[in-house]
């Protein structure tokens, strides 16, 4: 059986070290390139940070598998065993343009079940962490369980792009939700928007298309606090699949699924 406490301790040390390397790298010129389109950015620091974790994990836990955004990990087709789901820098556009509001996100799963979760806000030196069944923490201070709330008093994280015509959702569905919520915010890092729900700063976060490395760490953290983490149609997420995402406090989650998004159908493409 895996020693989760030991894995937790060592992961936190690696994350802090990686954060220090990223802060140092920011004092040098970044090498920036594009991936799927001109706005899909990646830098030498994204790649180096992913390599840093892969080398550490391979050396220390040779039986564990790795799913990483920049492709240096394993080809993963099933959820068996222990899998590290890593986004070395979530919010690369923020990293490149503003050097803040980006995070390292790591989720560690066993047979598809989240055991450990981390989101490290590098520029603020804020580490969100959770171990399943043992609580969730911000810089070692225990976070409070998420309480029920209503949409009228809710702050909802949403990317404005999804409020314009797009192929994933009838965007009119989101207009009513945005009108009824107390306010909306957009950070530009899915991991930090999930961390914001965990901390109680946001009451919900909505995204139409994310990858497992975007939500792996936050999934463990928010669920540990009694929050709900699903697809936008309320169905369960998978660590093997891209999907939509709805992260919310209890109460708000049900209202968003049943009142505002009942006509939403998940697009598989
Ligand atoms: C992106 C961020 C962003 C979300 C994008 C993601 P990346 O991750 O989480 O907030 O809207 O869909 O791809 O590429 O910066 O790791
Ligand atoms: Ca990316
Ligand atoms: Ca990401
Ligand atoms: Ca990334």
Per-residue pLDDT tens digits for 220-230: 999 999 999 99
Q: Output the pLDDT for position 187.
A: 98
Could you give the CA distance from residue 110 to residue 113 in angstroms, rounded to a whole number?
5
Average pLDDT on 78-89 reads: 98
Average pLDDT on 60-87 reads: 97
Q: What is the DSSP letter of 108?
A: E
Q: What is the DSSP secondary-structure string of 128-170?
A: EEEETTTEEEETTEEPPPPPP--GGG-EEEE-GGGGSS-SSS-
Distance from residue 97's CA to the centre of ligand 4 (Å)? 14
Q: Output the pLDDT for position 173.
A: 95
Distance from residue 251's CA to the centre of ligand 4 (Å)? 31
Give tens-digit pLDDT for 159-215: 999 999 999 999 999 999 999 999 999 999 999 999 999 999 999 999 999 999 999
Give tens-digit pLDDT for 5-55: 999 999 999 999 999 999 999 999 999 999 999 999 999 999 999 999 999
Q: Which residues pair with 230 in a beta bridge?
A: 246
Pick the ligand that lies closest to the CA of residue 193: 1
Q: Output the pLDDT for position 269.
A: 67
Nearest alpha carbon, ligand 1 atom 15: 91
Q: Are 117 and 221 in contact (CB under 8 A)?
A: yes
Phi, psi values for residue 29, rounded to 5°: -75, 135
Q: Are 121 and 192 in contact (CB under 8 A)?
A: yes
User: Among 87, 106, 189, 197, which is best to mutate for testing ligand 1, by the most ligand atoms less than 8 A from CB?
Assistant: 189
Distance from residue 117's CA to the centre of ligand 3 (Å)? 15
Q: Which residues pair with 127 in a beta bridge?
A: 120
Domains of the chain: 4-142 (3.30.540.10), 151-260 (3.40.190.80)
Average pLDDT on 151-159 reads: 98
Could you give the CA distance from residue 202 to residue 256 in angstroms, rounded to a whole number?
14
Pick the ligand that lies closest to the CA of residue 161: 1
pLDDT at 100 over 70: yes
- Does the predicted interface ipTM exceed a cut of 0.95? yes
- Give the burial class of 29: count Cβ atoms within 10 A of its Cβ; 0-12 exposed, 13-18 middle, 19 or more buried: exposed
Average pLDDT on 119-128 reads: 98
Pick the ligand that lies closest to the CA of residue 189: 1
Nearest to 230 by CA among 198, 205, 199, 200: 205
Could you give the CA distance from residue 86 to residue 212 in angstroms, rounded to a whole number?
9
Distance from residue 95's CA to the centre of ligand 4 (Å)? 10
Distance from residue 91's CA to the centre of ligand 1 (Å)? 5
- Which ligand 1 atom is at minimum distance from the Cα of 89? 16
Residues whose beta carbon lies within 6 Å of some atom of ligand 1: 69, 87, 90-92, 159, 188-190, 210, 214
Distance from residue 1's CA to the centre of ligand 1 (Å)? 34
Could you give the CA distance from residue 193 to residue 121 in angstroms, rounded to a whole number?
11
Give tens-digit pLDDT for 246-268: 999 999 999 999 999 999 999 87
Which residues have CB less than 5 Å away from ligand 4 (the ion)? 69, 87, 89
- How confident is the prediction for the chain on average, in pLDDT? 97
Average pLDDT on 126-138 reads: 98
Phi, psi values for residue 147, rounded to 5°: -100, 155
Nearest to 212 by CA among 83, 63, 54, 62: 83
Could you give the CA distance from residue 232 to residue 245 in angstroms, rounded to a whole number?
5
């Amino acid at each position: 059986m895996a020693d989760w406490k030991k894995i937790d301790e060592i992961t936190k040390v690696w994350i802090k070290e990686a954060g220090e390397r990223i802060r140092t790298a920011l004092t040098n010129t970044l090498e920036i390139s594009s991936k799927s389109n001109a706005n899909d950015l990646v830098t030498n620091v994204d790649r180096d940070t992913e390599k840093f974790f892969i080398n550490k994990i391979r050396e220390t836990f040779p039986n564990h598998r790795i799913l990483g955004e920049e492709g240096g990990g394993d080809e993963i087709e099933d959820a068996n065993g222990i899998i590290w789901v890593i986004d070395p820098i979530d919010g690369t556009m923020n990293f490149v343009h503003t050097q803040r509001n980006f995070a390292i996100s790591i989720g560690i799963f066993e047979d598809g079940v989240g055991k450990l979760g981390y989101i490290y806000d590098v520029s603020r030196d804020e580490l969100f962490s959770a171990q399943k069944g043992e609580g969730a923490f911000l810089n070692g201070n225990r976070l409070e369980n998420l309480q029920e709330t209503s949409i009228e008093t809710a702050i909802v994280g949403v990317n404005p792009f999804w409020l314009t015509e797009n192929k994933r959702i009838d965007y009119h569905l989101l207009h009513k939700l945005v009108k009824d919520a107390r306010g909306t915010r957009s950070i530009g890092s899915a991991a930090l928007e999930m961390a914001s729900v965990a901390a109680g700063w946001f009451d919900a976060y909505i995204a139409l298309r994310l990858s497992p490395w975007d939500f792996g760490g936050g999934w463990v953290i928010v669920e540990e606090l009694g929050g709900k983490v699903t697809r936008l149609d309320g169905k369960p997420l998978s660590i093997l699949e891209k999907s939509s995402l709805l992260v919310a406090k209890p109460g708000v989650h049900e209202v968003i699924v049943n009142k505002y998004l009942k006509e939403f159908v998940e697009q598989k493409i």
